[in-house]
Each structure stands twice: as structure tokens, then as C-alpha cells.
Amino acid sequence: MEATLTRHKLLRGVKRLGVAVSGGADSTALLRLLAPFCRERKIELVALHLDHGLRGAASAADARFVKKLAEKRSVRFLTSCAENLEISGKSLEMAAREARQQFFQQAAKAHKLDVIATGHTADDVAETLLLRLARGGGATGLAGLRPRHAVEGVTYIRPLLDCSHVELCAWLRKSRQPWREDASNGDEDIPRNFVRHQVLPWMEREWRADIRPRLAQSAAILRDEDALLDELARPVAATRTPDELRIKKPERVSVALMRRVVRNWLMDVGHADATGWETVERLRAMMEQGTAWRMTLPGDVQASGKGGVVRLARAKKITKQQETRVISIPGVVCVAGVRVAARRARGIVRTIGLVGALPSACTLDAAALRGRTLVVRTRQSGDRIRPLGLNGSKSVQDLLVDAKVPQAQRDRLPLLVVDDEIVWVPGYRVAQKFAVCGPRAASVRIEMKREGRKS
């Protein structure tokens, strides 16, 4: 671990370090290894544990185990419970992952954590490479888990990437340190578990015994080559703005660099939905032709161009049925037959249910709203939200379609808006920028219900 921390300078400038601890072998080892290492360097540790609430008494026992583990090493312990995970339109595993990211983001903001360490190992690297290879990933995807990465403003580090799960378990046994086993890790209906318990053991048995470190080695090589491609791609674009990408003489640029330039640009300007293989490949091909072209990208984004130029535009046209109201705090307005009430509060409230369902409630960070105008309106073409826990933005249109909200209801569903930014879709998560940072933080509570209904 120490070699990984040093080689990648993972703790440079870090004064307060969060450690994600589930209670499993890898995260237990991570906390035990980091505690003396950070104590010597006067780095404050904070153990972070999210109780997903999925396994009843076993989940509660995990939390108690981690608390004792932290307290024994004089490490501050922070925990939260993800009650009623929002799983509409996604797998339970994805919902749990998003809940963890939300918890980590709130903890990082509230407790001023410089970075958060997670217990990913070389085994996770090998599993991720195989899973992404099966999906047809390129170098960026196959490079997999990186020693350092950022999600929605939070920096994560992975000090155990050069360690195997077997090695860590052996070290814990030698230290007489118990850990918790999550029964759900044996569910082979989950793709990662199937790769872990079936695919990799078969490859070790039938092919070569050192397949895991070999795959981890491949991922490390791909990470370096991916970084080189990014470096080579930067000077290719002559113009690179949120609305325009211009490449001089695209016919002279290699296919690999063209794909990377287009994909990275779309990611950077907030159009992650449009970075799939088919879309990027179509755009690349269009840029190499001399005639004018036009196409619609995922997320209802209009793209047009000619001769190495791509321009993006979103329709801002307001429909005849659109209704808009400014709401004061405290205050009440009515939009499209829905009563919307705002009041000052403390802490976090979120109605867990179907996207678009009413009644519904949420809380927004009072500090983030200070000095801004809160608007309630029905949707416009091109509306997007950057929800808490998602790396990128999501089209409101796609969100409502995926939730099977009828067309008539989509056009009449009130949305919360601040400075033309969607901050909440009823039944869904709030925007990252307006998330409440802690259970006692000042917030603004918003409640929506159909007029004429008591609840």
C-alpha cells in the first residue's frame, strides 16, 4: 500500500482523509493499514460507513462492527442509513452505488475531507476490465479503476490497487482481525459476482493461474496509453467551446484521435449521454465529409456541421402550455394544477417513489439558494438535470420516458428551476449543486401535491 501511495502521490497535500469502510475484508484492511500510516504524518482519518438497509439485522451489525473498528484506533466514525433506496429504472446495485456516492459527497462537503480512500484491489481491476470488455469498451473503459479519480467534485483514491484480496485476507488472519461477510456478494445473478466466482476461477483453472495480476497489468498499461492519447488529442482541436468543436483538416487526423477528441469534448461540455460508440462514430464520420449535415444526439441535442466543424444547439422554445411561477420562501404557488409550497427547514427530506409521482417532497441547500430566484415551471425541450450521485447530466425527457410517465403528464409536471438550471424533478434526486450537506444543515423544503388533495 505504501508504495502505491508514494508512487502516485495520493496523499500529497491531504490533511483530512475519509476512508470508506463497509466492514468487508478489503475495507477493514484499508482502515487498519492507513491508521498508523496517517498518524505518523498527522493526517486526520474519518471512517465513513453507509448502512444500505438491505439486510436487516446484518446491516446494523456491519455498522456496529465498523464503529468499534474505528473507535479502537481513535478514528472518527460517520455513518448514515440509506432508507428505501431509489431503484426506479435501475438495478439494486446501481441504486446502492448512487446512495454511497451521495453519502460520500455530503460527508466530504460537511466535514471538509480532502479525499476519500476506497478499498478497491487488483481483483476489482481484473473484474472491471472483463466486464467492460464484454460491453465493447475502449482504452478509457478498459483502463478501469485508476489510483485517483474525481466524481462530482469529490476526489477518491485507491491505495490497495496493487494488493490482491487473497493477500489482504491472509494479512488480516495473521493479525487476528475479523471482518464482515456480505451474503449478497454470493449472488451470481449480479454480473460482477458471476465474473468473480465463475469466470475468473475458470480462467485460473483452465488457462493460467496468474490471470488476475496479468489483467491488472493490462489495465495499468492501458491507463498509461489512455493518458498519452489524451495528451496527443488536446492540440487537435482548433476551437473547443461548449457550442462548437472545430478540427483543421480532419482527414489528416487518425481515427483513434478523432474519436477521442469528439468523445472528450462531449463529456467536458456536459453531454455524457451522447458519448456512446455509435454516436461518436457517426459524428466522426460526418466531420470527415465536406457537405453540410445535421443530426439529433441523445439528450435531444441538435448537432450540425460541415468540414471538420460540429455545432450544438438546444431548442429553447417555450410551448403554449408551459406555465412559470416564481415562488418565495416561504410561499405557495400553483402550476399546472399542482400546489407547490416552500418553507425553511433543517436537514434532508426526500420522497422515495416513482419519478413524476405526486405528492412528493425534497429539500434544497439554503446557502446555495441564497440570493437566487426559485422558479416553478413545466418542462421545456432540452431540459437536463445534473442529479446528485451521477457523473454527468440526465435529460428530463429521457428520465420521464424511462419512468413510463404518460406524455400528457410529462408536459404538465412542475419542475424546480434556478437560473435556468433544473434543480429537482418530483420523485427524483435533487441537483448536485443544491444538495443539502448534512442532517442538521439549513435547508428549504419543497412539497408538491395535486390541488384538492389532502396529502
Asked if residue 87 and residue 61 are part of one domain, the reply reads yes
C-alpha distances in angstroms, 348 versus 60, 113, 288? 21, 20, 50
Please report, for the domain that includes residue 252, its CATH number: 3.30.465
Asked if residue 264 and residue 136 are part of one domain, the reply reads no
For residue range 348-385, list pLDDT tens digits in order: 887 666 888 888 999 999 989 988 889 999 988 788 99
Host H or E run for residue 122: helix 122-134
- How far apart, in whole angstroms, are the C-alpha atoms of residue 257 and residue 232? 8
pLDDT score, position 322: 62
Residue 106, all three cell numbers: 455530503
Residue 377, all three cell numbers: 415551471
Asked if residue 442 and residue 294 are part of one domain, the reply reads no
Locate the DSSP E strands across 118-273. 148-151, 154-157, 237-240, 244-247
Residue 170, all three cell numbers: 491472509
Residue 228 located in a structural domain: no
C-alpha distances in angstroms, 205 versus 170, 196, 359? 21, 13, 55
Asked if residue 411 and residue 337 are part of one domain, the reply reads yes
Instruction: Check whether 316 has a pLDDT greater than 50.
Output: no
Residue 147, all three cell numbers: 489510483
For residue range 43-97, list pLDDT tens digits in order: 999 999 998 767 778 888 999 999 999 999 999 999 987 655 554 445 667 777 8
Asked if residue 300 and residue 254 are part of one domain, the reply reads yes
Contact 123, 148 (CB under 8 A): no
Host H or E run for residue 128: helix 122-134
Residue 231, all three cell numbers: 495528451
The boundaries of the domain holding residue 357 are 324-450
Cell 473484474, residue located: 127
CA end-to-end distance (rounded Å), the chain: 54
pLDDT, mean of residues 26-52: 94
C-alpha distances in angstroms, 327 versus 185, 331, 412, 420? 47, 6, 17, 14
- How far apart, in whole angstroms, are the C-alpha atoms of residue 48 and residue 77? 6
For residue range 170-187, list pLDDT tens digits in order: 999 999 999 999 888 888
Average pLDDT, the chain: 86
CA atoms within 13 A on the CB side of 192: 12
Asked if residue 165 and residue 47 are part of one domain, the reply reads yes
Instruction: Check whether 29 has a pLDDT greater than 90.
Output: yes
Residue 227 located in a structural domain: no
pLDDT score, position 352: 60
For residue range 218-252, list pLDDT tens digits in order: 999 999 998 898 899 888 888 888 888 888 888 88
pTM check: above 0.85? no
Host H or E run for residue 323: none
Residue 389 located in a structural domain: yes
Host H or E run for residue 416: strand 415-418
- How far apart, in whole angstroms, are the C-alpha atoms of residue 209 and residue 21? 30
Please report, for the domain that includes residue 158, its CATH number: 3.40.50.620
Asked if residue 295 and residue 181 are part of one domain, the reply reads no
